[in-house]
């Protein structure tokens, strides 16, 4: 797949972008800095693999209260809200990149597909990228275990 740019590397600062939360409030890069954050990027929430990826990370979030988990897709806010209602999901931090600010700044927009490349990013509390995983085949799931192990190097797991 051809991406719109060159994604940042581990060690780089998270680029400046803006996305929108479920209340249509602008969320900027600066809003994500200050807490270790796992960013799960999905091409389209309305597909089975994206639903699975979002659910798996949402289920993990409670075990890592010192970290923030969010999912970014270029679905509209209305589509994301509909997905939450259809899935019975309430406590998920979904961010819409319908304007593709995140996609272009991160080099993750896939022009021939019209969506974002499936990927996982972990940033430290200063906004530095400490982990990245870009899935080359959009229909494949990411390596969840590898991402969670990288997260555990920064924040402890809490068993419920």
- Residue 123: the pLDDT is 97
Query: Domains plus CATH for the chain?
Result: 12-128 (3.40.30.10)
* CA distances to 16, 33, 77, 102, 158 from 27, in Å: 11, 11, 13, 11, 28
User: Given pLDDT bands bounded at 50, 70 and 90, which one contains residue 129?
Assistant: very high
- Residue 91: the pLDDT is 66
User: Given pLDDT bands bounded at 50, 70 and 90, which one contains residue 126?
Assistant: very high
Instruction: Say if pTM beats, i.e. exceeds, 0.85.
Output: yes
- Residue 90: the pLDDT is 66
Instruction: Tell me which residues are annotated as active site.
Output: 50
Question: pLDDT tens-digit profile of 28-37?
Answer: 999 999 999 9
């Amino acid at each position: 797949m051809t991406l719109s740019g060159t994604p940042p590397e581990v060690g780089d600062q998270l680029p400046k972008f803006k996305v929108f939360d479920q209340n249509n409030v602008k969320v900027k890069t600066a809003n994500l800095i200050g807490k270790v954050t796992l960013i799960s990027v999905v091409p389209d929430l309305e597909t089975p693999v994206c639903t699975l990826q979002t659910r798996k990370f949402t289920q993990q979030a409670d075990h890592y209260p010192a970290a923030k988990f969010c999912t970014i897709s270029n679905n509209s806010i209305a589509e994301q809200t509909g997905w939450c209602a259809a899935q019975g999901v309430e406590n998920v931090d979904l961010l819409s990149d319908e304007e593709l600010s995140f996609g272009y700044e991160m080099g993750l927009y896939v022009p021939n597909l019209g969506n974002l490349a499936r990927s996982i990013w972990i940033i430290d509390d200063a906004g530095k990228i400490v982990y990245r995983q870009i899935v080359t085949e959009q229909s494949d799931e990411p390596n969840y275990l590898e991402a969670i192990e990288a997260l555990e190097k920064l924040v402890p797991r809490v068993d419920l």
